[in-house]
Amino acid sequence: MKDGLFSRVVLWLVFFFLLGPFLVVFVAGFSGGDTLTFPPPSYSLRWMFDVVAMPEFQRSFQTSVKIALIATVIALALGIPVAYALSRTPPPGIGLIKTVLTFPLIIPGILVGLGLLRNFVLLVNAPVFLGLLIGHVALLVPYAVRVVYASLTNLRVDIEDAAVTLGASRLRTFFMVVMPNIRNAIIAAFFLAFVTSFNQVPVSLFLTGPGISTLPIEMLGHMENTFDPSIAALSTLLVLFTMAFVLVTEKVLGISKYL
């Protein structure tokens, strides 16, 4: 009995430790004061409306959405064939290949961003948008491979063999048989990659430049120069947006089945 009580106490302590900072920001986002304080002197939706109307946040939001959409589509275009090849014709050393494919997730984002800045953007003088896009694609490909691969391993191979036996080419079989059966996994990978790219900070911090900034980086710069509740309000909106995005995906597709 005491062991069960101790476990529950530890669970709740960890729970509050993880969610405590978010709760502070969430409450501060509804502040009606002019400075960021906790608890707020009053409560209002004033800063929620203000941050939505700020031009710099509107531009950076559009940039983040554009980068996330394009990077996600490219990552899926690269990741789906890789996942299919790994699941159907596993090459020698597949364990090592899987490990290499997860390097962008294991290596700290700061190192990835610094490496891309030093060896790609500065070396070949690539445009800021292109460098930012490539950095995000490099981070998203492992997500696409992992999610789609998990679905492909559960798809029976004899279904494809039956289609080939009936006269369909391998390419047609892939698009007419395989793709419809892994549709939910592809959609789940799209949502997961999009959210990851949209909220990316370390890589974007190194690869943004004059005139091009993602929303998280714009928020970071704004926070360094002001001390009002605007960033808390915007953070609250983004967290709610991300949570709704993930919860809807889990409810509709069961994204946890592919992770």
Is 136 part of any domain?
yes
Cα–Cα distance, 176 to 187 (Å, whole number): 17
Q: What does the pLDDT look like over 133-190, one tens digit per residue?
A: 888 888 888 888 888 888 888 877 777 778 778 777 778 888 888 888 888 888 888 8
Is 72 part of any domain?
yes
Is 203 part of any domain?
yes
Is 25 part of any domain?
no
**Residue corresponding to tokens 């997730």:** 105
Is 66 part of any domain?
yes
- Percent of the residues in the chain that have a pLDDT greater than 90, as a whole number: 5
pLDDT score at 3: 59
Cα–Cα distance, 230 to 31 (Å, whole number): 9
Q: What does the pLDDT look like over 29-53, one tens digit per residue?
A: 787 777 777 777 777 787 788 887 8
Q: What does the pLDDT look like over 65-119, one tens digit per residue?
A: 899 999 999 999 998 888 888 887 777 777 777 777 777 777 777 777 777 777 7
Cα distances from 133 to residues 72, 88, 191, 240, in angstroms, run 10, 30, 17, 25
- Most confidently modeled of 114-118, 137-141, 199-203, 221-225? 137-141
Mean pLDDT of the chain: 79
Q: Is the dihedral of CA 68, 72, 75, 79 positive or negative?
A: positive
Residue 159: CATH number of its domain: 1.10.3720.10
pLDDT-based confidence at residue 252 (cuts at 50, 70, 90): low
pLDDT (mean) for 228-234: 80
Is 18 part of any domain?
no
Number of structural domains (the chain) is 1
* CA proximity to 126, closest of 43, 41, 212: 212
Structural domain including 118 reads 54-258
Is 30 part of any domain?
no
CB atoms within 10 A of CB 205: 18
Cα–Cα distance, 83 to 259 (Å, whole number): 14
Establish how many alpha carbons lie within 13 A of residue 24's alpha carbon, considering only the half-sphere containing its beta carbon: 8
pLDDT score at 215: 83
pLDDT score at 2: 57
User: SS3 letters for 32-51?
Assistant: CCCCCCCCCCCECCHHHHHH
pLDDT score at 160: 76
Q: Is the pLDDT of residue 193 over 80?
A: yes
pLDDT score at 243: 78
- The phi and psi torsions of 106 (rounded to 5 degrees) equal -85, -45
Is 43 part of any domain?
no
pLDDT score at 73: 93
